[in-house]
Amino acid sequence: MIEEQIKSITEALPQGVRLCAVSKFHPVEALEAAYRAGQRIFGESHVQELQQKVAYFSEHALPPLLHREEGRTGIEWHFIGHLQTNKVKYLAPYVALIHSMDSPRLFEEIAKQGIRCDRDIPCLVQLHVAQEETKFGFLPDEALSFLRDVMPRLGSGCGVSLRGIMAMASNTDDEARIRRDFRLAHDTFLQAKALLSEGAPAEAALFTECSMGMSDDWPVAIEEGATLIRIGSSIFGPRQY
């Protein structure tokens, strides 16, 4: 089942679009099945659960990307949930990508912990483009203002490497609304990349990801410019809380 779903989704992806399998609340056996099917990017949203899974796979000779053995492809652990500043230190040594950098305060903490670990932690700027007020993230204008403020600091050794944007569409069956949300996010991505190209061209070259689209809306997200989709229930089934 899991292997079949992985194959079905990945075969449908255009070139340049990657799949992040959202494995939160699913057991390691499910992740192993996805791994056997060729999946290498896994998304988690709870720090303690992620730590437990990292420890399990490290013990079972499936090393994280940063510590892969020569000639082997390791797992990329992505953090996709709301991240509290006091939890950043636990992810800093190994996380391959934080999708949810949603405030200047969180940026500062990630930079601090990245410097402590002697690495620039890859992050996506989380945008708030949905109708729901409960979603985290920068409004599009806030995101561009934030980039203007931090741009002089970006570069090797700053502790953070900005790689693009993440966004969630409104929770609705209205495809037109979903499409507008993703289009606004992608337009903001293009503006952000242009801004970086003017003031930090080396960083602009790294700013390539649009993490958009989940189980119910990923085809629309791809049509609107997604490079990284986050799918959980369509692969693993209902969450096991």
Could you state, in order of their start, the residue ranges of all structural domains in the chain? Answer: 2-235
Q: Is 50 exposed, middle or buried (0-12, 13-18, 19+ CB in 10 A)?
A: buried
- Tens-level pLDDT at each residue, the chain (241 residues): 899 999 999 999 999 999 999 999 899 999 989 998 989 999 999 999 999 999 888 877 555 544 444 444 578 999 999 999 999 999 999 999 999 999 999 999 999 999 999 999 999 999 999 987 767 899 999 999 999 999 999 998 999 999 999 999 999 999 999 999 999 999 999 999 999 999 999 999 999 999 999 999 999 999 999 999 999 999 998 766 5
pTM of the model: 0.93
Residues 2-235: name the CATH superfamily.
Answer: Alanine racemase (3.20.20.10)
Distance CA 75, CA 108 (A): 27
Q: What's the pLDDT at 94? A: 93
- Ordered DSSP codes for 146-210: HHHHHGGG-STTSSEEEEEEEE---SSS-HHHHHHHHHHHHHHHHHHHHHHHHH-HHHHHH--EE
For the chain, the straight-line distance linking the first and the last C-alpha, in angstroms and rounded, comes to 20
- With CA atoms as reference, report the closest residue to 197 among 142, 151, 161: 151
- With CA atoms as reference, report the closest residue to 135 among 97, 169, 161: 169
Backbone angles phi, psi at 26, to 5 degrees: -110, 145
Please give the angle made by the CA atoms of 94, 168 and 232, to the nearest 5 degrees. 60
Q: Which helix (H) or strand (E) element contains residue 97? A: strand 97-101
List Cβ neighbours of 170 (8 Å cut-off, separation of 6 or more). 130, 131, 132, 177, 178, 181
Beta bridge partners of 165: 125, 210
Cβ-contact 216, 199 below 8 angstroms = no
Q: What's the pLDDT at 240? A: 62
